[in-house]
Amino acid sequence: MSDSTTLPPEAFTPARSRAVELERNVGIVRSRIHTACRAVGRDPSDVTLVVVTKTWPAADVRTLAALGVTDVGENQDQQASAKAAETADLPLRWHFLGQLQRNKAASVARYADLVHSVDRLSLVDALARGAERAERRLRCLVQVNLDSAPGRGGAAPSELPRLADAVAARAPHLELAGVMTVAPLDRSPALAFESLAVLHERLRDTHPGAVIRSAGMSGDLEAAIASGATHVRVGSAILGTRAPRHPAA
């Protein structure tokens, strides 16, 4: 994209201004990822940036794709399914991140490439049935809750082996891809991510193919990368904190 300072004033339409904003923010976040990787001797290409678009419109998804973003995350099925359909012509991987109800599992299984929030056996069964009907293989992460706050989703660490075994047992429709956590409210993110790293390494003793470790968001991605995260989920640092008035536009 050309230097915005060389453009005439009339070139700054709302769409153009938004594209410039997203280009700048994506660049900043990618620079943060590179710096965090260099600090711990990791290859930046080993960390996948998942841009979480939430209430932002499909037009933003298209702009992000033009900037080289390939992984997009959503936490509500209604928005995710609509945007996935509207951008089906783009080479995107869709990540489902939010707490998922069983009655939405079949819908998610039709478009998601990776579900980050598997946290109970009933959901494993529902996703497997949905993936079978959709004739797709759905990759899944077991979400681990390292927080004492209620209602944040995720399974207790002690439940991780049982859930992982259940996902793996539903092959070929499901694939156990790894683990996910959200930084807790009552603990240091760095300490929590280190705890996830220990749990993940133990899991890989029995499931060596479960290589994904999804951890870190806009405010704590550096700590997540330092502890070995393979995927970071970034929303507000790229798209902003103020949702549009008409998110479905």
What CATH number does residue 70 fall under? 3.20.20.10
Is residue 101 classed exposed, middle or buried when 0-12, 13-18 and 19+ CB atoms within 10 A define those classes?
A: exposed
CB 163, CB 127: distance < 8 Å: no
Domain region containing 216: 12-239
- Residue 48 CB: number of other CB atoms within 10 A? 18
As beta bridge partners, residue 64 has: none
Q: Report yes or no on 248 lying in a domain.
A: no
For 144, phi and psi rounded to 5 degrees? -105, 130
Residues 221/198, Cβ–Cβ less than 8 Å? no
pLDDT at position 243, please?
A: 60
Contact 192, 146 (CB under 8 A): yes
Residue at 2 is within a domain: no
Q: Is residue 54 part of a domain?
A: yes
Using omega within 30 degrees of 0 as the cis cutoff, is the peptide bond preceding 172 cis?
Answer: yes
> What's the total number of domains in the chain?
1
Amino acid 248: pLDDT: 39
98 within a domain of the structure (yes/no): yes
Q: Give the position of tokens 């047992």.
A: 169
Do the domain assignments include residue 1? Answer: no
Residue 3 lies in a domain: no
In a domain, 25, yes or no: yes
What is the per-residue pLDDT for 247? 44
Residue stretches of the chain with pLDDT short of 50? 1-5, 10, 246-249
Residue 119 maps to a domain: yes
Whole-number Å distance between alpha carbons of 237 and 218: 5
